[in-house]
Structure 1
Amino acid sequence: MDDNDDAFSFRVLINDEHIEIEEMGLYCLYVIKSKIIILNEITIDGNVYVVNCEIRCKGNNVNITTQLYVTNHAIISQSLIQSMSPIQWNAKMHHDILVQMQHFQDKVGNYANDQYEDAVSCLNEALQFAMDNFGVSHPLIGLFYCFIGVFYRNASRYDEAIAYFETALHFFLNIFGNIHLHIGNTLYNLGSLFFDKADYDTAIECYEYSLKIRKYILKINDIYIGNCCWELGVSFEQKGNLHKARQYYEESWKTYNKEKRDSMSLLIIKLKEYAI
C-alpha cells in the first residue's frame, strides 16, 4: 500500500481522533468522512452505509457481517458487490418508516408498568404498521412478537407470553433456518418463561439450544453466555441435579469474571455452596 492509499485506509480513518462516534447501547455508530475508503483484509461486524463516496477493496478477505447500504452516487468495488449484494438506500423504507416505528417504541416506553394492556395495544398497532410496510416476511415482524411477549411476561401472564415468543420463533426459523442470533435470543426468553412456570425440563432445553447457537455455532463469547449458563445452573439446581448446576455456575463464573459483572458476588456464594 503506497502513502496515498494509506491515507484512505479504513484502519487509519477509523482511528482518527476526530472521527464522530455515537454509542447506542451495545452498538457504536462511526461516521467516516472521506471520498475514498480502502478496505484491506478486514471484517466489519455490523452494517455499513456508503453515502456518496467510493469503497475500494484490496486483498481477498474483506467481509461485512450484516448489510451494505449504498446511495445512488456511491461507487463500490466489484469484488464486494459479488460477495454480498449491496442494498440500494430507500429513504422511505430505511428512514421514514423506521422513524415512525421509533415513535411507536417511544410511545410504549411512556406507559407505566400497570398499563401493559395499553402498551400491548400500541405494539399491536406497530406490528400491523410494520406488516403493511415491510410485508409479513421481514425480521422486524418477529421482533415485535417478542416485544409483546415481554410485556405479557412482565404482567405474569406466562401462557400468553409463551404464545407470542413461540410465534416469533417459528417466524425466525422460516426466515433464517435453524441457526441465527434471533433464534438463540428467542429460545433464551422462552427458557425464562418455562422456568417461571416451573417447567424446568423445557427451560433447560431452550437454554441449552440457545447456548449452542450463540457460543458453539456462532462463536460469540459475551456476557449473555454467562447469563445463559447461570440460568442453566439455577434450572438444574431446581431439579436437584447439583453436579450439573455446579458445572454451569463455573462456566458462568468464567464469563462474568472476564466481564467483571456485578452478579459475581452471588455466583461466588453458589460456587462455595456446591464446592466439593
Structure 2
Amino acid sequence: MAELRTSDAHWEPIADGVSVRRHRELDLSTGLVVGDRSCLVIDTCGDRRQGAELAAAVREVTPLPWIVVYTHGHFDHCFGTEAFLPCPIWGHEALPGFLAESAVEQRALWAARYRAQGAPRRAADLEGSQALAPDHTVTDRVEIDLGGRTVVLEHLGPAHTDHDLIVTVPDVDVVFTGDLVEQGAVPAFEGSSPRDWADVLLRLADRGTAATRFIPGHGHPVDTTFVRTQAIEVRELVELASAISRGEAAVDSAGTHPYGAATVEEVRKLLA
C-alpha cells in the first residue's frame, strides 16, 4: 500500500452548493453543503493530516464558517477534526460514549494495519490524532440553518452502529448516508444491528424518488434503486444466517449470498 497524497482526493459536484469529496484512502466519501452564512462539512477523514487536507480543500470552495457533523464514530469518519477547530461539532447523543470506549482500540488496530501494509506515515498520523467528541448532539432529528438552506440531521435507529446519522439536503434531494449504504464493497457488519439495518435501509429507500441522490460513506453516489436493493440483500442475509443457526439451511448455503460465506457467518454470530 503506497503512502497517499493530497492529489488522491477530489471534489465531485452533486447539486448546487453540494459536493462530495472522494478519497482514494478506503474509498471514503466526505461531504460539503454550502449555504449563504455557513457551510456544513460531513465527516472529517481518518487522521489529522487527512483532516488538514480536507480543511484546505473546503477553503478552496468557500470562506464561510464551517460546522462539522459526524455520520458515526468510526475513525475514518471523525479522527481528522483538529484542523477545523474551533467550530460546532454535531453527532448522535450516543457518539461521545462510543468514542470514549473505542477510540484507543480503533487507533491501535488501524495503526498496526497501516504499518503491516507498508504505510508508516499513515500509522503515525493516526496515532497522533485526537478523537474529538461532538459538542452538539442529536437524539432523533435536528435542523441546521446554513442561511438560505436548511439541512436535516436524523437518527433512524440502530444499524451500522447504534449512533448513525443521515444528513439530508431537502432543497436538492440529496442524502448523505454515512456507512448505512456501502457502494463498491460489502457493508461492514462488525458491531452492527443487522435486523434493524435492513429496516433502516428500507425506510431510506421509501423516502427516495427517482431523483434522490444518496451519498454513501464509501463509494460512488447511488440512487433509490441501489438503496432498496441493498436493503433486500441485508434482509436476505439476516434470514439466511438465522436459518443456518436454526438448522433450517445447510452451512454450505452461506456461499450463495452475494456478500459471501464469511459475511454470512459474521452475521450469524452477531444474531446468536
TM-score, normalization: structure 1? 0.30
Structure richer in helix, relative to its length:
1
Larger radius of gyration: 1
TM-score, normalization: structure 2? 0.30
Structure richer in strand, relative to its length:
2
Q: Higher relative CO (CA 8 A, sep ≥ 6), structure 1 or 2? A: 2
